[in-house]
A and B are shown apart, each in its own frame.
Chain A
Amino acid sequence: MKANIPSKPIDRKKITKRVISIIVIAAIYIWTFTSVNIKWDTIFSMRTIENFDRIIPKFFNPAFEETPTILEMMLETVFIAYTGSFTAAIIAIPLSFLCASNIVKNKFLNTIGMWILGAVRAFPEIILAIIFVAAVGPNPFAGVLAISIGSTGMLGKLYSEVIESIDMNIIESLESSGANKLQILFYGIFPQVLPEFLSYAIYRFEIDVRASSVLGVVGAGGIGTLITFAYLNRNWEEVGMILLAIIVVVTIIDQISGYIRKRLV
């Protein structure tokens, strides 16, 4: 027996949206698979199998005798990431206030701030690194510049979201008791946002350690420099050792920063 259940309301707008989405996705897939060129015959050849036999065992036999050099470069990588994140964490603060719509009431300025941050975020660090290497020469300074600019985009956006979510009543009460702009900033806004700012900055440092470990591929200092050399010399034992160093150091930094962030917020 069928109960008198009213039929499900049909949301035409939602259905059309869904159909269009599916058609778009199908079109994108057809375009992709018809036009991508993968040379299957060279990939599934004897050479690849030989490569596997030749290279993979070497990864698991890392060159421990290179440890001092690799550790030194890894330390430089961490330094690049730290300086870059620190600079970004400070540059991002004024930009994020510019973007936050509850602090800067001017819509035009908000949009400009958003555009600056969005434009910065569109470029991967390594592209920025290429440009800065061309400008200041192949040294860690180019890496620091790339990391600090790359991180500013993300940190600024996260910061401005934090600022937008603060309790405005505190600011109003400060205003009504006659505080000036600077006092509102220091006693009303900063205490509310600083823990989260710090937490995001540390999180970004985690990402930057990973990012700066490859900047050397384009000559911007850090352990990436060694990766390029080892790779060009087909020295796979050394590549294995570098991989091991990256994994260990990144894991340690992740653990420490995770611990600090848990205590902060």
Chain B
Amino acid sequence: MPNNKEKFIPKSLYPLKTKRIITLSLVAVLGFYLISSITTESFIINFFMKIGNITDLIGRFFPVDWSFAGAVWEKLFETIHMAIISTTVATLISIPFCLLTASNITTNKYLYNSMRFILNIIRTIPDIVLAVVFVGLFGIGVFPGIIALIVFAIGILVKLLSETIESIDMNPSEAIKASGGNALQTIWFAVMPQVLPQFISFSLYVFEINIRASVVLGLVGAGGVGQLINSQINFLNYPAVSTIVLIIFAVVVIIDYISGKLREGLV
């Protein structure tokens, strides 16, 4: 009886509703991509049309002009100094703020929410825009760059640190409170020992971010090596640009290595 034995067709792995949602979102994602790639003139065809220009330009960056290297060091050290100072100051400033934005330390809901709101706003402002504003206020130089980096770093650092503080074990601080410790003692003896390793590691991480950020602040007149890149590009002096870029690359790699080792040594 072959008719009785109907062919078994396995059902799809996913229910129909999920499939529909997935298809719809895929269409939306691709549709938005089409719209945006056409309006920004970056449709794939465009890429193949311009690829000649790009390879042509890359050719002009070589050979690297090493005689320019001497002019780079001074500005590059300025960049590193900016990053070091701003990271240090930002770390110190962010300590009280991250205690205020941790929900288990700051139990006052209004204070906690308003602090969170302010820091969320600070984090949305890009570093270069901050630099533009501070250059307008203080004039061209290293100082506005440092201030911009401090504000920028506080945004990141407070977010990372407050999340660490929120995840700590609260039993030690309860024990200290129960035996009569005040708020400062609780923070010092119960919170600090638990978060200090992450604190150091996040500061070094922010330092690496700051090095990268301070490279570009010079574009708007806030000191550092970015100014040099901009001027050399404007002079169409491409071999010099590739010297600067290669030196920056090497220095960033070395700094990442050193800060990794420091993290190991300290934590």
Let me know if A79 and B39 touch, CB within 8 A.
Answer: yes
Cβ of B221 to closest chain A Cβ, rounded Å: 10
A42 contact from B56, B120, B139, Cβ within 8 A: B139
Q: Interface range on chain A: under 10, 10 to 19, 20 to 34, or 35 or more?
A: 35 or more
Q: List chain A residues, Cβ under 8 A from B58.
A: 135
Q: Is the CB of B41 within 8 A of A140?
A: yes
A190 on interface, CB distance cutoff 8 Å: no
B128 nearest CB across to chain A (Å): 4
B124 near A18 (CB under 8 angstroms)?
Answer: no
Chain A stretch 12-56: residues in CB contact (< 8 A) with chain B: 17-18, 20-21, 24-25, 28-29, 32-33, 35-39, 42-43, 47-48, 51-52, 55-56
Asked whether A122 lies within 8 Å of B252 as measured between CB atoms, the reply is yes
Q: Which residues of chain B come closer than 8 Å to A227, judged between CB atoms?
A: 129, 132
Q: A130 near B: Cβ within 8 Å?
A: yes
Decide yes or no: A247 and B219 within 8 Å by CB, A42-B139, A139-B41, A221-B40 being known contacts.
no
Cβ of A246 < 8 Å from any Cβ of B?
A: yes
Q: Would B252 and A29 count as touching, CB distance under 8 A? A: no
Residue of A38, A140, A141, A217 near B142 (CB, 8 A) is A38
Residues of chain A within 8 A of B46, CB atoms compared = 141
Docked pose: A246 CA to B127 CA in angstroms: 12
How distant is the Cα of A80 from the Cα of B36 in the complex, in angstroms?
7
A143–B36 Cα gap in the complex (Å)? 13
Near A by CB (< 8 A), chain B positions 183-223 give: 212-213, 215-216, 219-220
Most buried by B among A43, A52, A234, A242: A43
Whether B178 sits at the interface, judged by CB under 8 Å, is no
- Whether A83 touches B33, Cβ cut-off 8 Å, given contacts A124-B216, A130-B230, A141-B46, is yes
Q: Mark B94-138, 1 if CB is under 8 A from A, else 0.
A: 000000000000000000000000001100111111001100111
- The answer to whether A43 touches B78 (Cβ under 8 A) is no
User: Quick one: which of A36, A86, A145, A214 contacts B85, CB cutoff 8 A?
Assistant: A36
Is B171 an interface position by the 8 A CB rule? no
With contacts A35-B81, A247-B125 known, is A236 near B40, CB below 8 A?
no
Q: Is the CB of B249 within 8 A of A141?
A: no
B23 CB–A CB distance under 8 Å: no
A135 with B57: in contact, given A124-B212, A141-B46 (CB under 8 Å)?
yes
Residues on the B chain within 8 Å of A136, using CB:
50, 53-54
| Contact assessment for A243 and B262 in the assembled complex, using a CB-CB cutoff below 8 Å | no
Q: Mark A69-99, 1 if CB is under 8 A from B, else 0.
A: 0000000101110110010000000000000
A213 to B143 CA separation, bound complex (whole angstroms): 24
Question: Measured between C-beta atoms, what is the minimum distance from A87 to chain B in Å?
Answer: 8
Distance, CA A135 to CA B47, complexed state (A)? 12
Pick from B39, B53, B88, B146: contact of A76, CB below 8 A. B39
Assembly CA distance A134 to B129 (angstroms): 22
Inter-chain CA distance A42–B132, complex, in Å, is 18
Q: Which residues 216-244 of B sit at the A interface, judged by CB distance below 8 A?
A: 216, 219-220, 229-230, 233, 238, 241
Interface residues of B (CB under 8 A from A): 29, 32-33, 35-37, 39-42, 46-47, 50, 53-54, 56-58, 77-78, 80-82, 84-85, 88, 120-121, 124-129, 132-133, 136-139, 141-143, 146, 212-213, 215-216, 219-220, 229-230, 233, 238, 241, 245, 248-249, 252-253, 258, 261-262, 264-266
Shortest Cβ-Cβ A-B pairs, 4 listed: A21-B265, A79-B36, A140-B40, A144-B42
Chain A residues engaging chain B, CB cutoff 8 angstroms: 17-18, 20-21, 24-25, 28-29, 32-33, 35-39, 42-43, 47-48, 51-52, 55-56, 59, 76, 78-80, 82-83, 86, 118-119, 122-124, 126-127, 130-132, 134-136, 139-141, 143-145, 210-211, 213-214, 217-218, 221, 224, 227, 231, 234, 236, 239, 242-243, 246-247, 250-251, 254
Assuming A36-B142, A124-B216, A126-B128, what are 19 further A-B pairs, CB within 8 angstroms?
A: A21-B265, A47-B139, A56-B137, A59-B133, A79-B40, A82-B33, A86-B29, A119-B249, A122-B253, A123-B245, A123-B248, A134-B57, A134-B233, A136-B50, A141-B40, A141-B46, A144-B42, A214-B128, A236-B136
